Structure 1
Amino acid sequence: MLGYMLNRLLVLLLAYLYPAYECFKSIEKNKPDVEQLRFWCQYWIIIAAMTVWDPFGDALIGWLPMYSETKLVICVYLWYPKTQGTKYIYESFLKPYISKHEPEIDRTLSEFKTRAGDSAALYFQRVLAYAQTRSFDLLQVLMSQSIQRPPPQEPQTKPDIKAAAATSSAGKKSS
């Protein structure tokens, strides 16, 4: 377990954090070197492809000994200047494959964007309709409570004992 956690930490540091910092430095130079920027763009394309492949690779060959360590070594191989791993992997594998399938990829992405936009619009409309319905229901409940509220009763006053006694004694004298 400790080995896995240490390897994962090293992958995060050496495959993501360090290259991200180097990419930042390349971008923020006063006059960025185009070749350096090209290198880092190619690196991130490869890392993205590896990240997409990772769940499948883990499921299929993750049981092999040193699999995680091999991924770490590949990541260092990619950015280490003397090996030119990024250039080799990009030019030999990714560029030919993506170039060959670029029209299909573009069409699929376009369809996905359209479907995602349509789904988001439909979902937003449903949420809005639900919110309107619930707001209207709440307004109806509030209105019905204000209409059905009984009128306030006037407080009952205690009858004046002297006046009641005078009225009753006047009634007895007249009879």
Structure 2
Amino acid sequence: MLGDFSCRVVLNLIGYVWPAYSCYKALSQKQSDAVQQWCIYWLMLALFTVSERMLLDVLVFWVPMYYEAKVLFVLYLWHPKTQGAVYLFNGIVQPFLAQNEAAIDQALEEVKTTVVDHASSYFHKLILFVQTNASLAASQLQHLQTKAQFNAQRIQQSANSGKSA
């Protein structure tokens, strides 16, 4: 058993560093087949990472050798002999996405609209808050400055009247 930390190191190396460099090589050498395979890999890795963090890590983290299994699965996804990402994409993900593409696009557009509306609303509220409180702060500072000047004049007058006596 490698342990959680060792598995994370290995997973980062074989799941991200090596594939990223291999993707770079495919892009720089204009290997369109390899680029397509690496795009499929990154898509499958993203789906795995999301499902892992939302479901698997919460439910099955206690299973013996869980972290080692994650390493092996990521290796399975990109290894040239298994091409697991391509296999899973062609067999499961691509048919599902193709069948549900219109509904997914509509849902994403609705989420995007909702997020933009909320962000815009909160931004306007923030601007109003800053304007209101900046004006209030400026008037408070002006009041404090006037009060400080008045107190300074009283101290000066008191000091001057003490000298004349």
Which has the bigger relative contact order, CA under 8 A and spacing at least 6? 2
Match of 1:23 in 2: 23
Paired positions, count: 157
Aligned counterpart, 1:64: 63
**Amino acid corresponding to residue 39 of structure 1 in structure 2:** Q
Q: Where does residue 54 of structure 1 map in the other structure?
A: 52
Listed as ranges, the matches of 1:81-120 within 5 Å are 81-120=80-119
Query: By how many angstroms is 1:158 displaced?
Result: 3.6
Does the Cα contact within 8 Å between 2:23 and 2:35 map onto a contact in 1? yes
Q: Give the direction of change, closer, same or farther, for the CA distance of 1:88–1:2 in structure 2 (3 Å limit).
A: closer
The residue identity in structure 2 corresponding to 1:89 is L
- Alpha-carbon distance between aligned partners in 1 of 2:82 and 2:145, rounded to the nearest angstrom: 79
CA distance in 1, matches of 2:24, 2:101: 28
Bigger radius of gyration among the two:
1
Distance 1:158 1:63, change over 3 A: closer
Query: Shift of residue 146 of structure 1?
Result: 4.1
Match of 2:128 in 1: 129
The aligned residue for residue 76 of structure 1 is 75
Q: Give RMSD over aligned pairs.
A: 2.1
Percent identity for Structure 1 against Structure 2: 32
